[in-house]
Amino acid sequence: MNFTLDEIAEKFNYSKSYLHTKFKIKTGYPLLVFFNLKKVQKACDFLNYTDLSIKEIRFKMGFDDPLYFSRIFKNFMGKSPRNYKQNLRK
């Protein structure tokens, strides 16, 4: 499931800037970057411990665009999901 900063701020009755600032102070990450990090970590779990395809994992993590998923994954992991999966087999 994907959330926007607006939706989260509204849910907790905070302004976007307050929520962004407080979250970053507590975690060291902007809120949406943190969510993407957690999605990539979960994607790695699926790649490591299941036979799901990258496409199936991408959908499970809430990414509709394969290029966006690959770019986000590579930003955190230093390699594409395909390369990550190939390295597991070695």
- pTM score of the predicted model: 0.85
Domains in the chain, ordered, with CATH? Answer: 5-88 (1.10.10.60)
Is residue 73 within 8 Å of residue 80, measured between CB atoms? yes
The answer, yes or no, to whether residue 1 has pLDDT greater than 70, is no
Distances (CA, A) of 84 to 5, 12, 31, 78: 30, 37, 25, 9
pLDDT in tens, 19-40: 999 999 999 999 889 999 999 9
pLDDT in tens, 25-78: 999 999 889 999 999 999 999 999 999 999 999 999 999 999 999 999 999 999
